[in-house]
Structure formats: C-alpha cells, structure tokens
Amino acid sequence: MMRITLAVTGTSGIILAERLLENLNGQDTYLIVSDTAKKIARYEGINLSELKKLAKHFYTENELDADIASSSNPIDAMVVIPCSMKTLSAIANGFCNNLISRAAENILKMGKKLILVPRDTPLSLASIENMRKAKISGAVILPPNMAYYYKPETLEDVTNFFVGKVLDVLDLEHDLYKKWSRE
Ligand SMILES: Cc1cc2nc3c(=O)[nH]c(=O)nc-3n(C[C@H](O)[C@H](O)[C@H](O)COP(=O)(O)O)c2cc1C
C-alpha cells in the first residue's frame, strides 16, 4: 500500500481529483483541499463531503501542524491535481505558507515522486519558469492536455485519460484509457 498525498487547489478541473481518488481506492490517501478549491468545487458541482469520504485522511490548507507537514512522516508520492499557478509558484520557490506547499517541499527534499497537474492557458512566462524550476527540483509536470488519437467521445473519456496519465507515473495499474498501439 502506498502513502499518497493528494492536494487540490483553486483551478478549474476539481473533478480530476475526484476521479483520481476513486482510482486510489486501497491506498493510504492524505487529501488537502485549498480554500479556493472549496469555492471552485461548488461552482463545478463537486460535493466536497463526498470528495472527503474518498480519502483516508483529510486536511485544510491551514493545518501546518499536521503530521504530513513534517518529513519525519514518510510519504511515497504526492499529486497536486489540479495545480494553480499560485501553488506551482509556491512549490517551485520553496514558499511553504500552507500545508500544500510544505508537504510538497518535504516530498522534494526526500527525493520522492511529486506530480504537478498545472491548469491554465495561455501560460505566463512566470508560470513557464516555475514549471522549469519545479522540474529541475524533481517534480513531474503533467498538464491535462488533450489527445485525440484514442478517439474520446465523452467528457468522462477525457477526464479518464488525464487521470490515467497520473496513475501511469505512479506505476499503478488502471484501465482508464486504452494504451497506444498502432494495431
Ligand atoms: C472560478 C475560478 C477559476 C480559476 N481557474 C484557475 C485556473 O484554471 N488556473 C489557475 O492557475 N488559477 C485559477 N484561478 C485563480 C486561483 O484560484 C487563485 O490564483 C488562487 O489564489 C489559487 O489559490 P490556491 O492555489 O491556494 O488554491 C481561478 C479562480 C476562480 C475563482
């Protein structure tokens, strides 16, 4: 069983976090939801109490005294999904002002897997530079970019493709999308 921190920040696409949690059933999951993500969840019709129920442990961004705020509690991997440009900046620059950026800092300093799913378009130079910095620090930058070759028919197919890509990086089996084959 993996210990995985999942942070949800204030961008469009909170459903990605919900779908990922559904597919992390059986793992030891630590969910952190930012204050803005709570608002956007409402706008996007995501029920926060249902989201919380999918995780084993739940924290708000202000709980800097939580166990996962310290690297003495080892976590195997962390996914920030979706990741705002603001949280990307905090992580890239080591600005640990909340539990999300602090937990990410711990993952990077312990050399564990950190996956960032940044959502914004178009991108500012600051965000591109922050992605570069985070990448150099060891993070995997996994933007939710569309592909058409697997012929998605519904929004569900598109969501599953993005979440499948995250599970690929976590080395977890799934059948959320059909792997490319030219046959
Ligand atoms: C409806 C709505 C949608 C937003 N979408 C995005 C987005 O897609 N990407 C982004 O970087 N910020 C987006 N923002 C702005 C962030 O929520 C804002 O920068 C916030 O400070 C992020 O804080 P957090 O990372 O702590 O959640 C959005 C804000 C609102 C109200």
Tell me whether residue 182 is in a domain: no
pLDDT at residue 135 is higher than 90: yes
Helices of type H across 23-145 = 35-43, 48-54, 85-92, 99-109, 125-136
pLDDT tens for residues 87-101?
Answer: 999 999 999 999 999
Residue 180 CA, ligand 1 centroid: distance in Å: 33
> Residue 27: CB within 6 Å of ligand 1?
no
**Residue with CA closest to ligand 1 atom 21:** 86
Cα–Cα distances in angstroms (integers) from residue 100 to residues 2, 86, 95, 166, in the given order = 19, 11, 10, 18
Token duo for residue 5:
């921190």
Burial class (CB in 10 A: 0-12, 13-18, 19+), 53: exposed
Tell me whether residue 176 is in a domain: no
| 132-136 CB contacts, 8 Å cutoff, 24+ apart | 133/92, 133/93, 134/88, 134/91, 134/92
Domain count, the chain: 1
Residue 153 CA, ligand 1 centroid: distance in Å: 28
In the chain, the percentage of residues whose pLDDT exceeds 70 is 100
Where in the sequence is the domain holding 55, given as residue range(s)?
3-169
Kindly indicate the confidence band of residue 181, based on its pLDDT and cuts at 50, 70 and 90.
confident
**Mean pLDDT for all residues in the chain:** 96
Tell me whether residue 71 is in a domain: yes
Alpha-carbon distance 51 to 166, whole Å?
18
**Residue with CA closest to ligand 1 atom 17:** 10
pTM of the predicted structure, to 2 decimals: 0.97
CATH value at residue 161: 3.40.50.1950
Tell me whether residue 183 is in a domain: no
**Residue with CA closest to ligand 1 atom 22:** 10
